Structure 1
Amino acid sequence: MTEPLQQPGLNSLSKSFEPAALEAHWGPEWEQRGYGVAGFRGTQAPQADAPAFSIQLPPPNVTGTLHMGHAFNQTIMDSLTRYHRMRGFNTAWIPGTDHAGIATQIVVERQLQAQNISRHDMGPTPAEARKNFVSKVWEWKEKSGNTITTQMRRMGDTVDWSREYFTMDPKLSKTVTETFVQLYKQGLIYRGKRLVNWDPVLQSAVSDLEVENEERNSFMWHIEYPFSDGPQTAADGTPLRGMHIATTRPETMLADGALCVHPEDERYQHLIGKLVDLPLCDRKIPIIADDFVDRAFGSGCVKITGAHDFNDYACSQRHNLPLITIFTLDAKINSNGPAAYQGMDRYECRKAVLKDLEAQGFLQKAVPHKNMVPVCARTGQVVEPMLTDQWFVAVNKVGAGDATGKSIAQKAIDAVHSGEVKFVPENWINTYNQWMNNIQDWCISRQLWWGHQIPAWYDEQGNVYVARDEAEAQAQAPGKTLRRDDDVLDTWYSSALVPFSTMGWGNDGEGTGATDDYNLYLPSSTLVTGYDIIFFWVARMIMMTTHFTGRVPFKHVYIHGLVRDAEGKKMSKSEGNVLDPVDLIDGIALAPLLDKRSEGLRKPETAPQVRKKTEKEFPQGIPAFGADALRFTFASLASLGRSINFDSKRCEGYRNFCNKLWNATRFVLMNCEGQDCGLAEHSTAECATGEYLSFSPADRWIVSLLQKAEAQVAQGFEDYRLDNVANTIYDFVWNEFCDWYLEIAKVQIQTGNDAQQRATRRTLIRTLETILRLSHPITPFITEELWQKVSVVAGRSGPSIAIAAYPVSQPERIDEAAIAHVTKLKQLVDACRNLRGEMGVSPSTKLPLYVVANTPAETAFVQASGPVLQAMAKLNEVRVFDDAAAWAAAAQASPVAVVGEARICLFMEVDVAAEKIRLGKEVTRLEGEIARANGKLSNEAFVAKAPPAVIEQERKRVADFAATVAKMRDQLAQLEKQG
């Protein structure tokens, strides 16, 4: 495929940049051409002589839609992938979606509930009901489960769609089963009763990542536990009827195993070992001592409910206390509670317990208290710590027969410590190590129907048989009737395997994974992810990959911040401040935007405030910015900070950038297409003498800056600083190429000889073509569209910019003399513009520039720069004087500026008397401003209270006003000389 995708020509380039049409064309075209296929470099196979660059997409939930975090994360990944593809790497960006056990099951169950059907009603037996429900989930997945991958295409993501996976695909499922069996044989997977986060509505264990802490208004209830053998004496001699505790969950006291104080708390040391009566229950519990108690909090005495609190569970284990479970799996009081409360819902029980405590004199007071409540993010239900039978991975144990002598966790710690896995920025290593050094066994089972069913079978005596399939399990238990474990694996278990499960590991029958992809792309080059899942996903991938493959899963972990709204608040549907990336691409009217933001509010009563804020932020709705502008915005925000405050106004600025680039291309094509652009081969003599190509200092200057920009961009990609990449490109294209070189080029084409015009056209078209390749990883759509026209004129055409060579800096082409020349020219132009501003002259009014230089070289410079100065400073003449006196006489009272070795002025006839009056009034006004500012600065109260920035601002005002007054007094002095 050598033909260009589209024929060049100015006539085929519309007058304005309209992103929708470009995106609709190029996205499918790239995919059809296979440019995202792993290893693509003009062929469909990896190149043996090329380095590899691979990257794993953090698999989004199959239930999800593209949100701002996805779009930000994927912009970084696609930019890195496009950059390396253009550099000639064998690239592989592996896409996929996660089966999202909890989220997906909830979606389908809600659909059934709308028909008044429970999943348990879907078959005559539990096994049939489960089978039919799972089939229903697969049906939903095929119809509705690919929303987010469709939206990824809208962002221009060049992933390898031929390698797209789903974590429940047969090949990946086979790897899941294989790893489970191997871990079990190594003694690293076991089943046991442990405390876990439990959702009583979902009736499943949930991971910490699915739990969010919400602040709620509640109470701290103060309760007295009487001493079993009568009142005691406090350390200060006062009588004590009992021990005083405070709790936010009084219903759990029914399962208390002890009261606990700090061993060094002098108030209670003499009471350690005493018994107290547990109110409302016919039980006595001991007073124990443990240093986890905070002596300064409340009374310094806490209740220990080991089966319903994580801290209490650890304490109970240390002191061998009974673990009493008081709740059923749906959070009702079970038979371990007093008969009066059995069968009550937990909150119904709370009310009854408080009523009875008050009636019996044990409730001392209720103090309003803001409480952090753990809530399941999927169901919105308050999570209960629950003691249940679960499957665990023993992460701190050395597996049977493991020659390394290291646990799974230690291998992962060593991988980072050795530098095999590097974090960017490095400070996240501390977070990683803190988690890993305190890691507990990993609960991997979930009480769901959707997911990878645990490959374990039980006989009638409860013996367990772990196997790859039922036949293998039956072979371990000949003649016995087996029942498969109902639980499924935690979604994070299969996600932890994707670095090698997606590369074919475990599908060769031996579990070695010796496939071409495995050897070429494991470890992958970079993982791009947010800091919120360092432990839940990043650490687990490192643990599982190092344990099973002996390799690290990736070489670099680039940790980026989380996207927040313009005020720094977390984006959430429940807060009504979300932005949909596709809405920013396509635009959305105010009415549907208001409807979107009003859906799913956690507090429906906040809807009016949400609508008011939205109307203020987007009075006309959100305009269509296009994918390139959104991607450029994300890239510009991709610093190494913890969070990104997203303001859609920045999209407008980068949409303007795209317009600027579009219009610049139209100008370049207008002046170069069909013209002699100096691309033909000519003799060395012709080139050396300037007969064929005569490059101006401005030509050499823009090429020099381009080399520097290319080096800065390369460094930005190397450092994972896409903000530096974006800012470098923006500054070079807008501030240097468009604002300065294009204007200079106009003059050179209009006034230069043939050799100068050829050189200017060559510089224009070649620089623009390079700009497009330089910008392509961040803004792929517009650069592809423009490159198809520009590249042919530049003599560098090919099938697509996506597989064109990425620009590489050539330091030998940097001409410092040319840079100095144009820097001086820009200073002259800026000085003229400043003088025009001081004089209040309209930009449309052209004035003569009078110049006197101190040196012949400066005189020659100004004279040579005359045509450009006239064009860029809006001058009708540039007159250079040999004599300073003659210059002063001609300049009269005009404002003067000094630039290098020259003095300049813009001459304009003035009414001397009127100008003296005007300047006098302005001096008086500014002196008044100076006096007011100085008054503030001399006021001790103001200086003491005002922020430093405000004080500095006032000082700057004084300095700026004083400088302006000085200039005006000079002008008045000149006017006085004229009478």
Structure 2
Amino acid sequence: MDKSFEPSQIESKWYAHWESNGYFKPSGKGTPYTIMLPPPNVTGTLHMGHGFQHTIMDTLVRYHRMRGFDTLWQLGTDHAGIATEMVVTRQLNAEGKQRADLDRDAFIARVWEWKKESGGTIGRQMRRLGVSGDWSREVFTMDEGPSKAVVETFVRLHEEGLIYRGQKLVNWDPVLKTAISDLEVVSEEEDGSLWSIRYPLADGSGELVVATTRPETMLGDVAVAVHPEDERYAHLVGRMLKLPLSQREIPIIADEYVEKEFGTGCVKITPAHDFNDYAIGQRHNLPLINILTDDAKINDAAPEKYRGMDRYVARKAVLADLEAEGLLVETKKHKLQVPRGDRTGQVIEPYLTWQWFVKMDTLAARGMELVEHGHVKFVPENWINTYRHWLGNIQDWCISRQLTWGHQIPAWYTDGGSVIVARDEAEAKAKAATQGYTGTLRRDADVLETWFSSSLWSHSTLGWPDPQAQAERGFDRYLPTNVLVTGFDIIFFWVARMIMMTDHFTGEVPFRDVYVTGLIRDKDGQKMSKSKGNVLDPLDIVDGIGLDELLDKRTRGLMQPKMAEKIEKATRKEFPEGIPAFGADALRFTFASLATHGRDIKFDLERCAGYKAFCNKLWNATRFKLDTLVRFKGDFADPTWFADSYSDADKWIRTRLAATAEEVKAQFAVYRFDLAAKAMYEFAWNDLCDWYLELSKPSYRLEDPTSDQDDGQFAAPSEAAAAAYTLATTLEATFRLLHPVIPFITEDLWKRVAPALGIEGDTIMLRPYPEASDIATDDTATAEIEWVKDVLTGVRRIRAEMNIAPGKVIPLLFADGDAVDRARAEKFAVQIAFLGRVESPAWVSGEEPAAAVAVVGGMRVLIPLEGLIDVGAEKARLAKEIARVEGEIRKCEAKLGNANFVANAPAEVVEQERQRIADWTRQADAMREQARKLGG
């Protein structure tokens, strides 16, 4: 083995081996365990959120695969209508072409060409992270199967009266010229203005003053609203106002939406350009006047003067005219939430347009019922409240988009405007003929939003609605899936819709559990964003990146030089030499260790460094002991000859392994990957690689311990063989224990250790996961070794505090204790002397010498200080430690002195506090006695 662990040398090798041998495919045997990958955008690249969630999913899949489940991790990508169309449009622009230069078919052909060349980027990156999904079953939402599912779903819902076409207000991006979802709208606080405007009464008897942040929309006002209980305006309700800059008159209405205390208590109502106003307009049967074109210019519904102006040019013109007519009361600076499209950065307009909608009331009621009755469970459970909020306030779902790339809506129009919904054009013509129409049909040019096809993901990827495809892809076997791993931001946009759609069309829920992950933030808790310059690329962490390349990535495309300069300065400070290569395993263990049930996750590269050191620890432990294991290889074929020679340390490490396996199993069951990772780490690093390797050394003592040559002649061959066998089996099981989280290094090390045990197999990932019930345990031996550890820990602590050289052999005394302590001291004298670098321990007789003390239960461990330390420093140390222990005693006494605590806390908790007082008091007394002996 190489002297140091180099992840790049093993990770790509093993992934290629796994994939080429088909190990990721379902076995078809055992209980099914299925996870559907939330399909990332085909335009995308792996980001930290992907890396985090993919690690969680892969851990679950590998864990269940090793436990004998028939695992299917269904992979795939989303066609990402808006993002993909923008990418290809930019390519055309770079060639000097415009989108309009290509007809629909030519543009779609160009998109497919791009997808073939560049669409697999994220798949290659996922492989680098170790994703063990079945690539042979990978699905693209525009593939034939999912496309059939989309059409069938649309037609059936339309036939059931659940899909309709209507004119409603939607989020409109004036650059893309399409409706977009709420998730694609990013609202942030910006500086703006609030303008107060006079609206004269039509009869000239007075006026109302209204305030607005968008004065240009007043050209589409249809009313002014006041609160029905506002006494200031009660006498005016029903009267008419003269709309400024217009020849129209509009009524004064009363509606409880208006806040009496806000501003003047008068609100202008523009139903075609504000979602709240739209709702008011529906309640009062007000007209809808749209004053904007699809590119946010003023249209012909507005006064002629403003027609053709851009919305912000029109704003200036409107304000100038209001001021000229004496109708502009005041202008104030105002903070407001401005909605912008996440793709274009343009301000989004509420826009009145014809769209296709899914009627959501009955579907939502069923979706709520499934969750409330426990058919789908949220983890953590509190996220059910978000689900309830969305479904309890649901609106009909706008599913159409004014794009070219995507699933074209299966609807055709007659010359008279009638709508025919059908699975294809032939069926549309047949339906039209039954209505007496034989003329030309024009297909709807819009496409369905990607969330529509994604809502079918759990069953469309399994072949629905084609019976033959369902049989081939295991529809009946793998649905419902076991768990969906996703972010809280799409609980409504995706999770809820999947539940509703899958249930509606298959009678099954799409998944049993929804594990909702937190949001990855930087080490300071800040959201990662390009504008902050704190974005981390998971593959840069895996493979490393130089400073110059990192700076280029972080500042590329920034339009503001000052921002680029700020980001460069911060990056140079944090990463003066770039980011080192930590490897996929270290990154994965970091993700797992951070996977709490919290909303936010702070990511710190220092954790990656620590877990790379952990991988290196496993590597070195195996490398240092591999020659020993190989030496005993032949003896392991029949371990019965040393069956009676296992030491307490051998029995202890197996007991710890069993306990850890049980703990990991319990934590995986409740999706506490952080606690599972903690248990794995503490066992592998502390118990196995530190304590056991040290505790087992006496078992390998040579026949002639003074010899400089290891001739293989052990003082007790059976004990040496037992220790070696224990080490080999424990290492092999530990690699299996860790494999779901860190698959690469465990595969590599397992392949080196398994042959020594005669274990055949081409990969660790098909070996059984460690089960506590299969591991021999010994509580008595465990208690013995824990005592030894406590003694050695006390000795090492005193050495460190006294600054005594680790290699210096020092005297050791025991005092107090009982018969069990004396028996253990005699039994483990060799181990204590060897591992503690002390003289053979002896029990105090007569007057105790001045000594540093550690307390183990009822026994004191003493290191005589004569000639070892500065007595003054030791007295100061004891005083500090006594003060600390006395503080702990006071804390316990305060709890026990609280009547409410004693009355309400569980009896075992109260007893625990009393025991703590006893333990702390014993330690304090021992240290006071020691201080007395030092003259303190």
2:840 is the counterpart of 1:878: yes
Alignment of structure 1 residues 461-472 onto 2, 5 Å: 461-472=416-427
SS class of match (1:848): coil
SS class of match (1:863): helix
> Which residue pairs with 1:617 in the alignment?
574
Residues 606-615 or 106-115, more deviating: 606-615
Partners of 2:774 and 2:22 lie apart in 1 by 35
Which letter maps to 1:799? D
Cα drift, residue 458 of structure 1: 0.9
> Which residue pairs with 1:420 in the alignment?
375
Alignment of structure 1 residues 140-179 onto 2, 5 Å: 140-179=114-153
> Which residue pairs with 1:549 in the alignment?
506
Alignment of structure 1 residues 754-793 onto 2, 5 Å: 754-793=717-756
Q: Equivalent pairs: percent with the same residue?
A: 52
Contact 2:875 2:934 in 1 (8 A): no
Residues 659-668 or 51-60, more deviating: 659-668
Partners of 2:18 and 2:879 lie apart in 1 by 66
Cα drift, residue 503 of structure 1: 0.7
> Which residue pairs with 1:253 in the alignment?
218
Cα drift, residue 22 of structure 1: 0.7
Alignment of structure 1 residues 254-269 onto 2, 5 Å: 254-269=219-234
Partners of 1:917 and 1:506 lie apart in 2 by 84
Alignment of structure 1 residues 521-670 onto 2, 5 Å: 521-601=478-558, 604-670=561-627
Two-structure CA RMSD over aligned residues (Å): 2.5
Which letter maps to 2:840? V
> Which residue pairs with 1:306 in the alignment?
271
Which letter maps to 1:32? S
Contact 2:850 2:865 in 1 (8 A): no
**Which string of whole-angstrom CA distances, capped at 9 and with x for unpartnered residues, describes residues 613-647 of structure 1?**
22222222111000000000001111111121111
Q: Which residue among 484, 490, 498 is the counterpart of 2:449?
A: 490
> Which residue pairs with 2:409 in the alignment?
454
Contact 1:677 1:761 in 2 (8 A): no
Q: Which residue among 271, 276, 282 is the counterpart of 2:236?
A: 271
> Which residue pairs with 1:500 in the alignment?
459
> Which residue pairs with 2:933 in the alignment?
974
SS class of match (2:230): coil
2:36 is the counterpart of 1:73: no
Contact 1:677 1:759 in 2 (8 A): no
Seen in structure 2, the aligned counterparts of structure 1 residues 359 and 498 have a Cα distance that, compared at 3 Å, is same
> Which residue pairs with 1:399 in the alignment?
none
Contact 2:55 2:591 in 1 (8 A): yes
2:617 is the counterpart of 1:693: no
Cα drift, residue 869 of structure 1: 1.7
Seen in structure 2, the aligned counterparts of structure 1 residues 79 and 925 have a Cα distance that, compared at 3 Å, is closer
Contact 2:654 2:775 in 1 (8 A): no
Gaps of 5+ in 2: 703-714, 886-920
> Which residue pairs with 1:851 in the alignment?
814
Residues 526-535 or 896-905, more deviating: 896-905
Which letter maps to 2:427? E
TM-score, length-scaled by structure 1: 0.87
Q: Which residue among 650, 667, 682 is the counterpart of 1:716?
A: 667
Partners of 1:281 and 1:51 lie apart in 2 by 71
Residues 490-499 or 218-227, more deviating: 218-227
Residues 348-357 or 776-785, more deviating: 348-357
Partners of 2:278 and 2:818 lie apart in 1 by 87
Cα drift, residue 895 of structure 1: 2.2
Seen in structure 2, the aligned counterparts of structure 1 residues 609 and 874 have a Cα distance that, compared at 3 Å, is farther
2:30 is the counterpart of 1:30: no
Cα drift, residue 800 of structure 1: 0.5
Cα drift, residue 854 of structure 1: 4.5
**Which string of whole-angstrom CA distances, capped at 9 and with x for unpartnered residues, describes residues 253-275 of structure 1?**
11011111111222222221122
**Which string of whole-angstrom CA distances, capped at 9 and with x for unpartnered residues, describes residues 25-80 of structure 1?**
011110000011122xxxxxx12xx1100110000001100000001010001110
Partners of 2:576 and 2:833 lie apart in 1 by 43
> Which residue pairs with 2:352 in the alignment?
387
Which letter maps to 2:526? K
Contact 1:332 1:343 in 2 (8 A): yes
Partners of 1:967 and 1:861 lie apart in 2 by 21
Partners of 2:232 and 2:560 lie apart in 1 by 45
> Which residue pairs with 1:822 in the alignment?
785
Residues 856-865 or 464-473, more deviating: 856-865
Seen in structure 2, the aligned counterparts of structure 1 residues 449 and 815 have a Cα distance that, compared at 3 Å, is same
Partners of 1:288 and 1:513 lie apart in 2 by 57
> Which residue pairs with 2:683 in the alignment?
732
Cα drift, residue 866 of structure 1: 2.2
SS class of match (2:722): helix
Q: Which residue among 431, 438, 441 is the counterpart of 2:386?
A: 431
Which letter maps to 2:593? S
Alignment of structure 1 residues 933-952 onto 2, 5 Å: none
Cα drift, residue 844 of structure 1: 3.1
Contact 1:448 1:488 in 2 (8 A): yes
Residues 346-355 or 852-861, more deviating: 852-861
Seen in structure 2, the aligned counterparts of structure 1 residues 821 and 926 have a Cα distance that, compared at 3 Å, is closer
Alignment of structure 1 residues 87-486 onto 2, 5 Å: 87-122=67-102, 129-231=103-205, 241-396=206-361, 407-478=362-433, 479-486=438-445
Partners of 2:609 and 2:634 lie apart in 1 by 35
Contact 2:531 2:563 in 1 (8 A): no
Which letter maps to 1:727? K
Cα drift, residue 415 of structure 1: 1.7
> Which residue pairs with 2:696 in the alignment?
745
Contact 1:863 1:880 in 2 (8 A): no
Residues 606-615 or 707-716, more deviating: 606-615
Contact 1:423 1:429 in 2 (8 A): yes
**Which string of whole-angstrom CA distances, capped at 9 and with x for unpartnered residues, describes residues 382-403 of structure 1?**
110000000111122xxxxxxx
SS class of match (1:217): strand
Seen in structure 2, the aligned counterparts of structure 1 residues 554 and 929 have a Cα distance that, compared at 3 Å, is closer
Partners of 1:839 and 1:966 lie apart in 2 by 21
Which letter maps to 2:695? I
> Which residue pairs with 1:404 in the alignment?
none
**Which string of whole-angstrom CA distances, capped at 9 and with x for unpartnered residues, describes residues 228-274 of structure 1?**
2233xxxxxxxxx4212211111111101111111122222222112
SS class of match (1:164): strand
**Which string of whole-angstrom CA distances, capped at 9 and with x for unpartnered residues, describes residues 827-856 of structure 1?**
111111222233331223221223345444
Seen in structure 2, the aligned counterparts of structure 1 residues 157 and 917 have a Cα distance that, compared at 3 Å, is closer
Which letter maps to 1:870? A
Partners of 2:822 and 2:317 lie apart in 1 by 97
Which letter maps to 2:14? W
Contact 2:732 2:753 in 1 (8 A): yes
Partners of 2:327 and 2:316 lie apart in 1 by 14
Contact 2:225 2:258 in 1 (8 A): yes
Cα drift, residue 587 of structure 1: 0.5
Cα drift, residue 926 of structure 1: 11
Contact 1:832 1:873 in 2 (8 A): yes
Contact 2:852 2:865 in 1 (8 A): no
Partners of 2:600 and 2:547 lie apart in 1 by 27
Seen in structure 2, the aligned counterparts of structure 1 residues 27 and 854 have a Cα distance that, compared at 3 Å, is closer
Contact 2:804 2:868 in 1 (8 A): no
Partners of 2:570 and 2:375 lie apart in 1 by 48
Cα drift, residue 466 of structure 1: 1.2
Contact 2:652 2:785 in 1 (8 A): yes
> Which residue pairs with 2:910 in the alignment?
none
SS class of match (1:365): strand
Which letter maps to 1:835? I
Which letter maps to 2:300? S
SS class of match (2:628): helix
SS class of match (2:851): coil
